[in-house]
Each structure stands twice: as C-alpha cells, then as structure tokens.
Homo-oligomer: A and B are copies of this chain.
Amino acid sequence: MPKENLQELEIRLKSFAIARDWVKFHTPKNLVMALSVEVAELVEIFQWMTPEESSEAMNDPRLSVAIKDELADVMLYLVCLSSMLRVDLVAEAHTKIDVNEGRFPIRSNKSAH
C-alpha cells in the first residue's frame, strides 16, 4: 500500500474510526477540540525554549521524536476534520496563498508580519 499519499491517509483514518466505532464521537465540534489539544501538546514542547533553542530542537534525538509524534497527531486530526467537513485541505491552502499574495504585496513594508 503506498503511504506517501494524502488521500491514502484520509482513507486509512476513515477505516480506523469505523472499525473502532468512533465515528459517533467525530462531530466537527469534537474534532476541532481534539485538534486544539494536539496543537497544545506541540506548544508544550517549545514553551520554555528560547527562539534559538526552538530552531535547534530537531538536533536533540529525544525532542525530534516527540516533535514528529505531535506533528503527526495534529496532521491526523486536521485530515480527519477536513474529511468530515468534505474540505480539500491542499486546494484550500493553495487558494489562501493566492489571496495572501494579493493582500501582502512583496514590496510593501517588509518588516511587518
């Protein structure tokens, strides 16, 4: 089974939830709460680091494992939620970059975010 693929990820997640009878828990309201909890577990890793330490975190083998694990959890809930809402994440993200390119023209005010 090819595992590089985002569509494949969505299919696996759906089967996973169905097989465990978890679909009843997966309302958008609940999934968005779960997504926010997973993001907070990522925030927890970085909370006491300086910005410089955060840039070096992946060089620490223990931190690297923890960060990958939490990023995976965030991605899983984001894909699960989007799938439930029938939203094409990648297409919407591209559309949003198009919009942002208009909103933040390159030459204006480089230093403000």
Contact = CB atoms under 8 A, between A and B. Distances in A.
Chain A binding surface, main DSSP class:
helix
B35 A42 contact: yes
B75 A47 contact: no
Interface string A12-34: 11001001111001011110111
A46 B33 contact: yes
A36 B40 contact: yes
Among A45, A52, A71, A101, the most chain B Cβ lie within 10 Å of the Cβ of: A71
Interface centre among A39, A58, A72, A73 (most CB of B within 10 A): A72
A74 B69 CA distance: 18
Interface of A: 3-6, 8-9, 12-13, 16, 19-22, 25, 27-30, 32-37, 39-52, 54-55, 57-58, 67-69, 71-76, 78-79, 81-82, 85-87, 89-97, 100-101, 104, 106, 110-111, 113
